[in-house]
Structure 1
Amino acid sequence: MQREIDHLRRSLRHEWQRRTPSNLGFSFDNNEDESYRRRLRTPPNETFSSDEDYHHERKDRNSSSVSLGNDAMSRSLNQIARSPFTRWIERGRLSQRFSQPTFTMYNGRTDPVEHVSYFNQRMVVHSKNEHLMYKVFPSSLGYVAMRWFNSLRAGSVDSFKELTQVFGSQFVTCRRVPRPLASLLSLSMREGETLKTYSNRYSEMFNEMDGDFDDVAISTFKLGLPIEHGLRKSLTGKPVTNIRQLMDQINKY
């Protein structure tokens, strides 16, 4: 039995020697052999260091992107926190009895002058309270206009007049262009059109004009009616002197 075991050991040793690199035609010097043995003993956490470096690099890039986003948000929030009003305005106290009216928000697409006029009408009972007018005005602004308001330089606004002026300058391209007088002169009742439809078209056009043109409006409205129309005859026989009287005459027909 012992002989068979010894024989088996010799056979395995011989086979191992036959399969070694020296028998396959390869040669390694001592340095290469030592390097090879070190690589074989390299722990798994060192073997995959390149993968870890890649993931760390990606994590660093993501962290950097998040940091830039946070910085931008912080700057925006800091800008919003800075009031464009001067200190004396900020120190003003509001009455505890003040009840803020409901506003139609300015969307940045309509006439800014009309919005200021609308705001003044809603705040007419508080128009003498400067601090109140300053601080409530932003509450009437929608998203687009609030972005403009938040971008104003800190302490740059010292009066309500100044605030409304810079507001108007910002949205000046949204100003409503008044209709020229010529557009009113060209109106006339169309064939088959009712008096109500014609008068509504005329009123809309007249309301889009700036200036005192009552006399011209009355005359051109009458001339726009058919010659045989009863209202034209009535206006010729009993002339009216203002638009209110003209509307009263129209309502009778």
Structure 2
Amino acid sequence: MPDRFTRPPFNSYDGKTDPMEHVSHYIQMMSLHTHNNVLMCKVFLSSLGPITLRWFNGLRKDSIHSFAELIQEFGARFVTCRRVPQPMDVLLSMKMRVGETLRSYASRFWELYNEIGGGNEKIAASTFRMGLLKDSRLRESLTKKPP
């Protein structure tokens, strides 16, 4: 380990969430050391939980030669945990529930919109408006004066 190296705080990967999100977080936390291939590999182990550490310990000796290979193998092993982006039409079916607050509806809507990865903001705004309850004053206002 380099002098004065302090291991950044990582969330342990449990094998149940998107592995590429974990790798992205890891690389971000290690951004000052990405040029050091050996360090990236060694410290990556400390970001693994018990299940994923068992996977690592089961790798054949000398089968990994770089951090890129390690990440490729890691992603391939835990590919079933990858988050599949939702299609844009999922937004079209989202409606405000009877009795739901505007805040709750807006939170659900924009959270889903961000999971989709954005896209056409005009379509999103229109879909948001159409999902509001028919007698909503906000819906009436947005219909008269589009954002």
Question: Do the aligned partners of residues 214 and 120 (structure 1) sit closer, same or farther apart at CA in structure 2, a change above 3 Å counting?
Answer: farther
1:189 paired with 2:96, answer yes
2:30 is aligned to 123
In structure 2, distance between residues paired with 1:228 and 1:119: 47
Structure 2 residue identity aligned to 1:158? H
3-state SS of the aligned residue for 1:201? helix
- Say if 2:145 is the partner of 1:237: yes
> 1:42-53 residue pairs with structure 2 within 5 A?
none
Gaps of 5+ in 1: 1-93, 240-253
> Where does residue 130 of structure 2 map in the other structure?
223
Moved more, 208-217 or 107-116: 208-217
Q: What is the RMSD of the two structures over their aligned residues, measured on CA atoms? A: 1.9
- Paired residue type of 2:145: G
Q: Deviations over 1:41-67 (max 9, x none)?
A: xxxxxxxxxxxxxxxxxxxxxxxxxxx
Q: Which amino acid aligns with 1:175?
A: R
Partner residue, 1:204: 111
Identical amino acids, percent of aligned pairs: 50
Separation in structure 1 between the aligned mates of residue 74 and residue 144 of structure 2, nearest angstrom: 48
Pick closer, same or farther for the CA change 1:104–1:235 going to 2, 3 Å: farther
For residues 2 and 26 of structure 2, the distance between their equivalents in structure 1, rounded to whole angstroms, comes to 19
Q: How does 1:147-158 map to 2 (within 5 A)?
A: 147-158=54-65
Counterpart AA for 1:191: V
C-alpha distance in 2, partners of 1:237/1:139? 54
Deviation at 1:174, TM superposition (A): 1.1
Distance 1:122 1:215 in 2: 35
**Taking structure 2 as the reference length, what is the TM-score of the superposition?**
0.87
**Secondary structure of 2:116 counterpart:** coil
Question: Between Structure 1 and Structure 2, whose CA radius of gyration is higher?
Answer: 1
Distance change in 2, residues 1:212/1:234 (3 Å): closer
Determine which structure has the larger helix proportion and give its number. Answer: 1
Measured against aligned partners, the alpha-carbon deviations of 1:156-179 in whole angstroms (never above 9, x if no partner) come to 112211111100000111111221
Which residue identity does 1:237 align to in structure 2?
K
Give the deviation of 1:192 after TM superposition: 2.2
Q: Secondary structure at the match of 1:140?
A: coil
Alignment of 1:1-253 (within 5 A): 94-210=1-117, 212-232=119-139, 233-234=141-142, 237-239=145-147
> If the length of structure 1 is used for normalisation, what is the TM-score?
0.53
- The list of structure 1 runs, each at least 4 consecutive aligned residues, that deviate by more than 6 angstroms after superposition, is none
Deviation at 1:195, TM superposition (A): 0.4
Question: Which amino acid is the alignment partner of residue 16 of structure 2?
Answer: R
Question: Secondary structure of the residue that 1:203 maps to in structure 2?
Answer: helix
Number of residue pairs the alignment of both structures matches: 146
Q: Of the two structures, which has the highest relative contact order with CA contacts closer than 8 Å and spacing of 6 or more?
A: 2
